[in-house]
Amino acid sequence: MEKKEFLYEGKAKKMYRTDDHALLLVEFKDDATAFDGEKKDQLTDKGILNNRLSEIFFSFLEKKGVKTHYVKRLSEREMLVKALEIIPIEVIVRNIAAGSISKRLGIPEGMALKKTVLEFSLKNDDLHDPMINHYHIYALDLAKPEEMAVIEKTALKINELLQPYLKEKGIVLVDFKLEFGRHKGEVILGDEISPDTCRFWDSGSGEKLDKDRFRRDMGGVIEAYREVLRRLEGGT
Ligand code: TMP
Ligand code: ASP
């Protein structure tokens, strides 16, 4: 597979064309950002860890019948994926209150939610990814009702699959963010699944094993990502 011209750069990844027009190459960077890019740093090896962790999550989900853009990992930082027409909606799945929902609704972090919460945001950093609902989605024609049905069903299925998988590794899946896109007429999962896009808490101590360590200046960010990888690779 040949790496061809550079396509675009996001906050954590760069995309390149390949010699197959249906496939793209993703390069995971060490850049860490928070608050829509206001806070920035370089975290050595973050890209390598997120590439490997995304590979593990995507492979697991594919095995369970979830369609994703993942094809294979090519190198330490590179992953081959199916080219998607991105649907500009961030889909957030929450099991336990944390982060923005705690602030917005005045509920304590760590409070279990009686029912899984799904939220949608418009993918637009300049506008700080504003929360939207189905009315906005259809009014702006961001996705069709049939596509939203697939997105919601898939997001909830991913939650049902990842919660027990992570629990076995001593990790509580607090919340996570997904992105979807269109590929050959189908809506499939895109982007990444990593401690950048999920909240992972240690089951015993409640210790944060995700990007909140960076957002909140807690230190030990990369150590936490490494710990997640160690557990997923079957270490004890
Ligand atoms: P929030 O509580 O800040 O809304 O975040 C909810 C989840 O979404 C959390 O797991 C982190 C993830 N997330 C992203 O992946 N990208 C983002 O830009 C934001 C704001 C959150
Ligand atoms: N990814 C977002 C940013 O880079 C926000 C976040 O993850 O907290 O600003």
Q: Provide the CATH number for the domain around residue 48.
A: 3.30.200.20
Which atom belonging to ligand 1 lies closest to the Cα atom of 36? 18
Cα dihedral sign, 202-208-211-212: positive
pLDDT for 235 equals: 56
198 lies in some domain = yes
* 34 Cα: distance to centroid of ligand 2 (angstroms): 4
Q: Which ligand is nearest to the CA of 39?
A: 2
- Are residues 70 and 105 part of one domain? no
In angstroms, rounded to a whole number, what is the distance separating the alpha carbons of residues 225 and 189?
22
pLDDT for 236 equals: 46
pLDDT for 44 equals: 98
Strand locations in 83-209 (E): 85-86, 89-96, 112-122, 131-132, 171-178, 180-183, 186-189, 198-202
Global pTM value? 0.97
When computed from its CA atoms, the radius of gyration of the chain, rounded to whole angstroms, is 17
User: Which residues contact residue 88 at a Cβ distance below 8 angstroms, ignoring those fewer than 6 apart?
Assistant: 122, 123, 124, 142
Domain total in the chain: 2
In angstroms, rounded to a whole number, what is the distance separating the alpha carbons of residues 19 and 44?
30
Show the domain range for 107.
85-220
Surface-to-core class of residue 232, CB atoms within 10 Å of its CB (0-12 exposed, 13-18 middle, 19+ buried): middle
- Residue of the CA atom closest to atom 7 of ligand 1: 176
pLDDT for 53 equals: 98
Residue among 123, 132, 175 to mutate when testing ligand 1 (max atoms within 8 A of CB): 175
- Residue of the CA atom closest to atom 4 of ligand 1: 100
- Are residues 212 and 165 part of one domain? yes
Q: Which amino acid does the sequence have at 81?
A: V
* 180 Cα: distance to centroid of ligand 1 (angstroms): 15
Which residue ranges of the chain lie beneath pLDDT 70? 235-236
Is 173 within 8 Å of 164 (Cβ atoms)? no
